[in-house]
Amino acid sequence: MTTTTTGTTTGGTAVRAVGTAHSRVEGRDKVTGAARYAAEIPFTELAYGWLVLSTVTRGRISSVEDAPVLAMPGVLAVLHHGNAPRVDIDYVGMLGMRPDPTVAVFQHDRVPHAGWPVALVVAETSEQAREAAEALVVHYEEEPHDVAFSAGHADAYSMPGPAGPGVTGKGDLEAQLAASSFVLDAEYSTPEEHHNPMEPHAATAHWDGGRLEVVDSNQGTIWVAAELASLFSLDPASVHVRSEHVGGGFGSKGVRAHQVAAVMAATVLSRPVRVAMTRRQMFSLAGYRSPTTQRVRLGVDAAGRLLALEHSCLSLTSTVHEFIESGAGPARVMYDAPAHHTANRVVRLDVPSPTFMRAPGEAPGSFALESALDELAEKSGIDPIELRVRNEPEVGPVSGLPFSSRNLTACFREGARRFGWADRDPRPGLRREGRWLLGTGTAAASFFAGAAPSTAAATAEADGTFTVRINAADIGTGARTALTLVAADALQVPTDRVRVRIGDSDFGPAMIAGGSMGTRSWAWAVTAAAEELRERMALSDGIPPEGITVRSDTTAAVGALAQKERHSFGAQFAEVAVDVATGEVRVRRMLGIFAAGKIVNPLTARGQFTGGMIWGISMALHEEAVRDRNTGALYGADLAGYHVASNADVPLVEADWVDDPDPDDPVGIKGIGEIGIVGAAAAIANAVWHATGVRHRQLPIRPDRVIRADAHA
Amino acid sequence: MKEFGYERAADVSGALALLDADPDARFLGGGTNLVDLMKTGVERPARLVDVRELPLDRIESTEDGGLHIGATVTNSDLAAHPDVRRRYPALTQAVLAGASGQLRNMATVGGNLLQRTRCGYFADVSKPCNKRVPGSGCPAIEGEHHNHAILGASDHCVATHPSDLGVALAAFDAVVSYETTDGPGELPLTDLYLPVGDTPHLETALPPGALITGVTLPPAPAGAVSRYRKVRERASYAFAIGSIAAALDVRDGVVHEVRLAFGAVASRPWRARAAEAALTGGPVDAAAFAAAADAELAAAEPLPHNGYKVTLMRNLVVAVLSELAEEAAR
């Protein structure tokens, strides 16, 4: 289907492009293969690097036997801690975080986790590099490791994270629990999960006239350029990173070992070097979502109003880098109570460093919190939607700040109407269709809605077209198309007169594709530049051959945003079928209704929402990386062993939205990148309970767990 | 990856000669398993002898009313064949329960039977595995094994055979025919796979260098209805955690003949002869089905995390035989 919107003016009324469905401007290039991805772009004199990863989980490298490998056909170099260029990791990066030392490859002999990069073999062909890399013998002094993650780990400590402080608290929890009519106290767990974007990480580095050129697949070229400049002590202006098309990122595509290794090899060999990760390497080099164990305690009065809320979340991180999965974060936004306590804790183990993964904190945290709400609804005899509506907070439960807008109840009302919730019998285990027990469930969703400073340039060309340059990243979201619509409206021209160029660090600072903030942040800068350009054009006497270019910088405007609780919201609904004899769980249909700001392009937005919801199906039923305690490495680290939902698992997934423009944004955008997954797993788990009468508090809800739970029920 | 030679065999004797000439050569069928294993370094053949073009791609009725299936028949063609669909419906169902349309278009019957286990330790050359490196140990026993064997395993290996097709073939008493440079041979499918014991790296009873040329099915049990049910961790495109091929012939209200084979529970397709014996001549009801399943599963030796498979297989026996009994009564 091709849907185009031209944004023409008819009868004096401007037809707005924003809000109308528009197919991807680069869609034809992508489906015909004309769009080149990072590892496909040709270079002359290109050499290929292959990463060698540690086979031990903790210890020291005692020797790297590179001589036999250097004698193998086509081998050009073996980089390791004994000979690699030095890098500097004593800096704070663009996102305000210190770098994960995992990216500082080959700097020392210590091995802190399985799959740690210990060498790069560079050869004339990819096949030669791989064969030589697999032949490279590395000797280790192995040390005992600890990868055992469990609730109540003695070494856990709290630390601040993306969701704010490590610990928040008000009110007397025990007293309020004692005063409650109904109390829920339950533990939940989620497994280690991996991003697994379709396109593996890949980078090509080369030096061009004293300038470092990197072609990469990432979520922000300026981000990667700045990190590489810091690591290699280069002038930021002398690092140029391009990332035209990106086959998914989900939080994993920042600076990683492959770019750093490629730059090192290009420096040593003075020729272009490409390093791509294999799928299996991605399981230890690309970051992941930490497993969590969570405890939720809730107490309500007889009317269903929360008196007590406690949510604590434990996650893990590596011994070299601190990252916390803030699962207790959603409770700070969703529900208030006189006694309200949240805590995010982390424990350091001999594992790779986790990182941001789509809806960090909210995805696992909402599973626990929204499952707990459902359990409390069961205990108190209150409808799960009604229970949530009765506990809508006036202001931020922890911050005390007003909400910029909060349309959660509207999402539930619209979703309930379309899903047929009013006809639901709340009792579990009653509906049977052949061998299947049927049930329905719901859950709430929220995700932070923010904006970050960005710059953009808008050029009126002499031929009547417009070129917009912004360092955005389209990681499959449709950002390039969304910005085309935004620019066309701001310029008051049809979309076919606007060309948006993205993914080039030379275009200047801009927000990364992350935090559900990309499109909003970029659209703001594009709107500012385009509007000023129109004013300039109105004052100018025609357009000179070189065009008229205006640059914008939203630093001041974004900085002037009032302090508020700013979030998108949503209501998730799921119907499942469960065969308790075989443990099979099938999602029959899902509906998500979102209040997520102005929707720029309904076509791609629906894809983002449903994509998130399908990820929620995977999270609920399939995704689980299994760490083998004895070896300390993952078991089945490939897409045969690590399951994501197949097409057959996704029969009917619908997403829609209620009107919810952000009053403080020039376009009304909030951001939709992550909220689709939030609450989805809880809605499915709640539906599994409704079908079977058995609560599943451990994800994923695998057949063996359903069979065991049924045996114990 | 390791450089390797590739040759396409024109006829069976040529294929055997090519393999005989090179101890590090492997036959290549559809390549849907072998090529993956070459990419990950589990298999490192010096030469591939492509047998997919051999004239072994026919499905023909035999004189006694059975069926002969050539070794290079693709899974897709096998599943779609009218005689297979009509006479051995569980076989079609088993094939269609496996892999994806694209893989079934490539995969061959001979290759399917000789595919390797999908145990995650076997597939990862950075980890020990007695099947891949004899004597290196079996980390699954103390590690991840929720989808490993409950029947016929040993202290040396608890891997399962991943084939769906093989489970249905076992239920239908299939006989595997092969050729060697010393002449042809035959093996019942249930004898194709060796007991695990302390030699999990020795997987089949085929002589060295043998090429599977086909599979012969005797006539399906007269009057029997058959079915294949596969349970897996997602709705499609995953290996079984438990599967069953069953054929049931009910006469005068008692079980006249029954065939049962289990998948994903052992190092080979597991013909459930103890269950069959318990059922034959007995009543057609859920209690009898459950008792028969228990008779078979009495030999199960589950590990700490795969005991659910005993329950699963028992439930599958009852469910599928009940469905077949209902179908037979129609």
Q: Are A680 and A590 in contact (CB under 8 A)?
A: yes
Rounded to an integer, what distance in angstroms lies between the CA atom of residue A604 and that of residue A599? 10
Average pLDDT over residues A615-627: 98
Rounded to 10 deg, the angle between the A257-269 and A221-231 helix axes is 60
Question: A161 pLDDT band (50/70/90 cuts)?
Answer: confident
Instruction: Considering only the beta carbons, identify the residue of A55, A131, A629 that sits closest to B1.
Output: A131
Angle in degrees, CA A224, A228, A232, rounded to 5: 175
Domain boundary among A496, A526, A559: A559
Chain A partners of B37 at a C-beta cutoff of 8 Å?
Answer: none
Question: A4 pLDDT band (50/70/90 cuts)?
Answer: very low
Q: Which DSSP helix (H) or strand (E) runs through A616? A: helix A602-621
Is the same domain home to A479 and A378?
A: no
pLDDT of residue A7: 39
Instruction: Considering only the beta carbons, identify the residue of A134, A635, A643 that sits closest to B238.
Output: A643
Query: Does the domain spanning B5-50 belong to CATH 3.30.43.10?
Result: yes
Q: Do B237 and A648 touch (CB under 8 A)?
A: yes
Interface probe, candidates A124, A701, A707, chain B, greatest B C-beta count within 10 A: A707
Question: B265 pLDDT band (50/70/90 cuts)?
Answer: very high
Q: Which DSSP helix (H) or strand (E) runs through A221? A: helix A221-231
**Per-residue exposure over A526-544, b if at least 16 CB sit within 10 Å of its own CB, e if not:** bbbbbbebbeeeeeeeeee
Q: Do A704 and B308 touch (CB under 8 A)?
A: yes
Is the same domain home to A311 and A383?
A: yes
On whether residue A7 sits in a domain, the answer given is no
Rounded to an integer, what distance in angstroms lies between the CA atom of residue A396 and that of residue B285? 61
CA dihedral A410, A415, A417, A422 (to 10 degrees): -100
Instruction: Considering only the beta carbons, identify the residue of B120, B121, B233 that sits closest to A643.
Output: B233
Q: Would you call A512 exposed, middle or buried from its count of C-beta atoms within 10 A (0-12, 13-18, 19+)? A: buried
Is the same domain home to A204 and A189?
A: no
pLDDT at A388 over 70: yes
Residue written as tokens 């009547």?
A: A464
Q: Do A582 and B308 touch (CB under 8 A)?
A: no
What would the pLDDT profile of B4-50 be if each residue is shown by its tens digit?
999 999 999 999 999 999 989 999 999 999 999 999 999 999 999 99
What would the pLDDT profile of B225-256 be if each residue is shown by its tens digit?
999 999 999 999 999 999 999 999 999 999 99
On whether residue A481 sits in a domain, the answer given is yes
Please report the sign of the dihedral spanned by the C-alpha atoms of residue A2, residue A7, residue A9, residue A10. positive
Instruction: Considering only the beta carbons, identify the residue of B40, B126, B241 that sits closest to A703.
Output: B241
| Upstream peptide bond of A165 is cis (omega within 30 degrees of 0) | no
* Tokens of residue A185, six digits: 């106290």
What would the pLDDT profile of A197-251 be if each residue is shown by its tens digit?
999 999 999 999 999 999 999 999 999 999 999 999 999 999 999 999 999 999 9
Contact of B40 with chain A, judged by CB distance below 8 Å, is answered with yes
The DSSP secondary-structure symbol of A237 reads G
Cβ atoms within 10 Å, residue A68: 12
Is the same domain home to A416 and A267?
A: no
On whether residue A617 sits in a domain, the answer given is yes
Outline where A116-199 has alpha helix (H).
126-135, 173-179
- Tally of structural domains, chain A: 3
Outline where A499-578 has alpha helix (H).
518-539, 555-559
Contact of B231 with chain A, judged by CB distance below 8 Å, is answered with yes
Q: Where in chain B is the domain with CATH 3.30.43.10?
A: 5-50
On whether residue A332 sits in a domain, the answer given is yes
Contact of A636 with chain B, judged by CB distance below 8 Å, is answered with yes
pLDDT of residue A11: 39
On whether residue A170 sits in a domain, the answer given is yes
Residue A7 dihedral angles phi and psi, to the nearest 5°: 65, 35
Residue A84 dihedral angles phi and psi, to the nearest 5°: -75, 150
Rounded percentage of chain A residues whose pLDDT exceeds 90? 96
Which residues are registered as beta bridge partners of A347? A316
Contact of A2 with chain B, judged by CB distance below 8 Å, is answered with no
Q: Do B234 and A648 touch (CB under 8 A)?
A: yes
pLDDT of residue A8: 41
CA-based radius of gyration for chain B = 20
On whether residue A426 sits in a domain, the answer given is yes
pLDDT of residue B2: 82
pLDDT of residue A163: 80
pLDDT of residue A97: 85
What would the pLDDT profile of A253-303 be if each residue is shown by its tens digit?
999 999 999 999 999 999 999 999 999 999 999 999 999 999 999 999 999
Residue in chain A closest to B2 (alpha carbons) equals A131
Is the same domain home to A117 and A205?
A: yes
Least Cα distance to A355 among A325, A386, A382 occurs for: A325
Query: Which residues form the domain of A22?
Result: 14-38+452-559
pLDDT of residue A152: 85
pLDDT of residue A6: 42
Residue written as tokens 């070129």?
A: A467
Question: A14 pLDDT band (50/70/90 cuts)?
Answer: low
Is the same domain home to A182 and A306?
A: yes
Q: Do A636 and B144 touch (CB under 8 A)?
A: yes
Is the same domain home to A485 and A431?
A: no
pLDDT top residue among A13 and B297: B297
Q: Which DSSP helix (H) or strand (E) runs through B312? A: helix B308-329
Contact of B41 with chain A, judged by CB distance below 8 Å, is answered with yes
Residue A300 dihedral angles phi and psi, to the nearest 5°: -125, 155
Chain B partners of A701 at a C-beta cutoff of 8 Å?
Answer: none
Contact of B1 with chain A, judged by CB distance below 8 Å, is answered with yes
pLDDT of residue A86: 97
Query: CATH number of the domain that A677 lies in?
Result: 3.30.365.10
Q: Where in chain B is the domain with CATH 3.30.390.50?
A: 225-329
Domain boundary among A513, A543, A559: A559
On whether residue A506 sits in a domain, the answer given is yes
Is the same domain home to A485 and A507?
A: yes
CA distance B235 to chain A (A): 5
Structurally, what CATH architecture does the domain formed by B225-329 represent? Answer: 2-Layer Sandwich (3.30)
DSSP output for B170-185:
HHTT-EEEEEETTEEE
Is the same domain home to A421 and A569?
A: yes
Scan residues 452-491 of A and list those with Cβ closer than 8 Å to B. none
Chain A partners of B123 at a C-beta cutoff of 8 Å?
Answer: 636, 638, 640-641
Rounded to an integer, what distance in angstroms lies between the CA atom of residue B70 and that of residue A295? 58
**What is the average pLDDT score of chain A?**
96
CA distance B163 to chain A (A): 15
pLDDT at A670 over 60: yes
pLDDT of residue A12: 40
3-state helix, strand, coil in chain A (%, to 5): 30, 25, 45
pLDDT at A95 over 90: no
Rounded to an integer, what distance in angstroms lies between the CA atom of residue A270 and that of residue A272? 7
Cβ atoms within 10 Å, residue A6: 15
Q: What is the interface size between A and B, counted as CB pairs within 8 Å?
A: 106
Q: What is the 3-state secondary structure (H, E, C) of B35-50?
A: HHHHHCCCCCCCEEEE
On whether residue A263 sits in a domain, the answer given is yes
Average pLDDT over residues B266-291: 98
pLDDT of residue A2: 38
Strand locations in A331-371 (E): 339-348
3-state helix, strand, coil in chain B (%, to 5): 30, 25, 50
Average pLDDT over residues B132-143: 98
Is the same domain home to A121 and A216?
A: yes
Domain boundary among A522, A542, A559: A559
Instruction: Considering only the beta carbons, identify the residue of A582, A630, A648 that sits closest to B143.
Output: A630
Is the same domain home to A607 and A496?
A: no
Q: Which amino acid is at A408?
A: L
Is the same domain home to A516 and A373?
A: no
* Tokens of residue B217, six digits: 């099915």
